[in-house]
Structure 1
């Protein structure tokens, strides 16, 4: 068995963890740029960050709201190439954190937006502090940014894009719309399932299996769309576990298949992944029987069919979609999906079958 485990992000968990650890911020400099989602002003996260920065005598600039599923051009528009900042604070869900990673690069490198994908930056990106306000992305502990490019999404990564600190305060999830909580929880589950099936190591098993057991504890709450504070905290923690898993393992074809659904049909990212996750697990069963059986036991579902039923029960329905559109999405995603590490080799025909079974079945 061979693998690498690198978790450079300092993870700080708990109520008012930003305020209680404000003394950490001056070590990153005296000028911060804040990249935020639209909800950051409603859930208290932005106010906590601003209060802390002011208390520490750190000047700051607040960028405009990050749009959902930002493109490289959207990221450039947030800040462009303006110099003078020492670090970035990302406050929000996956879109805000993905954009913040782009801002960290563009703020100190005189390059065009699409040159983010060159990955070799002359100047080291600014340090990033992440404050997640959803329970899915895991981007607070990864070195990857995923942005919308054309008909799909495309990722860039660098070891320097690992956030320096992640502050996990579940209070910021209390105003999260219930379906957004479900969608992002499904994103975290997808991260863990994909990484678990494509990467054999005790480390991925440790984090993913803990996440599966956690998911079983709050899946009834997901079905009811009603959460206690303890459940929200566990959901936030589980999302970070998922981030650690994909930081080691990457994602599989499931994520690639989800991208056209998000870009073309405006399906939220976590839901888009969940729509094909069940059929991907069924496709993978003959190659990963022991692992999938273990996963289903931890999730407290009756095998693959029980897993598919669990996912289906959490989805609000399927998008209206035609056979022709799915054939188009197969053309868009096949090349990247085949290149991904998967539980077993996957073909373009397999991808089309997974799409059909997931969305037309």
Structure 2
């Protein structure tokens, strides 16, 4: 058995945890930059962070809103290369946390935007405190930042990008539209499924199987388009579990073949992954039968077909795409998908078959 486990992020979960942990913010310095999503001002998260900073006389600069699927240039525009901050606070979903990690690098290194993909930084990035406001990304416990570059997305993965701390309060999820909640919850599910299937270890199995059992407890709520406080808290917890899984295992071709759907068709990331997740599970069944059967049991679905049906029920209408578009997307994603850890080798033909079965079948 071989695996790596490095999750140095201090995770604090609970009601009003941001305001209750003013001292945590103060332990990182006296000057903070806040990198946020546009929704942070509506769900109360930004207000809580500012109150915690002001209570400890910490000065702060609120950066402009992070756009969906930020580019390296978007990250550079948030703060530029201005020095003078001690730490970064990321408030929002995956885009905000990914951007915050980039800002943390640029704040201490005089490099161009694309220098974010350098293998080594001269200076250590600033510490990041993450306050997630969706239930999908898991970025609060990963050392990865994913940014849009050209036709696809590229990842930065460095141990120094692990957030120093994550503060999880499910009250920020209450204002999410129900489909956004579903899309992000599906992203968290994809993380656990992908990591579970591509790495065999007691550690990833433990976290992923807990995530599957959790998902079974709240999957029925999506049909009601309403969630209890307990369900939202469980979703947020499950998202962090999925983040821990991919911090150990990484993601598979599912993420890579979802990127063109997001970049070119504006399909939200979690939904883009979910669209082909069922077909990837079917593709993997012959080599991961025992694990997939156990996963389906924990999710309380009837095998692979039941898994696919569960996903379909959580998605809106399947987007209308032509076979020509899908062939182009297969061309874009094939090389990177093949380099990913996968349950078995993935070819461009395999990707095209997954696209066709998922989006034209």
Q: Is TM > 0.5 for Structure 1 vs Structure 2?
A: yes
Q: CA shift at 1:158, angstroms?
A: 1.0
Match of 1:267 in 2: 267
Distance in 2 separating the partners of 1:285 and 1:354? 14
Residue 126 of structure 2 aligns to a residue whose secondary structure is coil
Partner secondary structure for residue 77 of structure 1: helix
TM-score by length of 2: 0.99
1:104 aligns with 2:104: yes
Show the counterpart of 1:223.
Answer: 223
**Number of the residue aligned with 1:214:** 214
Q: What residue in structure 2 maps to residue 187 of structure 1?
A: 187
Deviation at residue 119 of structure 1 after TM alignment: 2.9
SS at match of 1:227: coil
Report Cα offsets for 1:245-286 as digits up to 9, x if no partner: 000000000000000000000000000000000000000000
CA shift at 1:223, angstroms?
2.3
Query: Which segments of 5 or more consecutive residues in structure 1 lack a partner in the other structure?
Result: none
Aligned to 1:235: 235
Q: Report the Cα distance in structure 1 between the residues aligned to 2:6 and 2:191, rounded to whole angstroms.
A: 17
Per the TM alignment, residue 86 of structure 1 is displaced from its structure 2 partner at its CA by 0.4
**Residue 347 of structure 1: how far off its partner (Å):** 1.0
Give the root-mean-square deviation of aligned CA atoms: 0.5
| TM-score, structure 1 as length reference | 0.99
Q: Secondary structure at the match of 1:342?
A: coil
Q: Distance in 1 between matches of 2:347 and 2:171?
A: 44
The equivalent residue for 2:347 is 347
Runs (5+) with no aligned partner, structure 2: none
Tell me the residue number matched to 2:22.
22
CA drift at 1:318:
1.1
1:3 CA displacement: 1.0
For 1:353 and 1:24, the matched residues in 2 are separated by 49
CA deviation map 1:38-68 (0-9, x unaligned): 0000000000000010010100000000000
Report the Cα distance in structure 1 between the residues aligned to 2:26 and 2:13, rounded to whole angstroms.
20
1:80 and 2:93 equivalent?
Answer: no
Matches within 5 A, 1:53-92: 53-92=53-92
Distance 1:300 1:233 in 2: 20
Q: Distance in 2 between matches of 1:111 and 1:223?
A: 47
Corresponding position of 2:335:
335
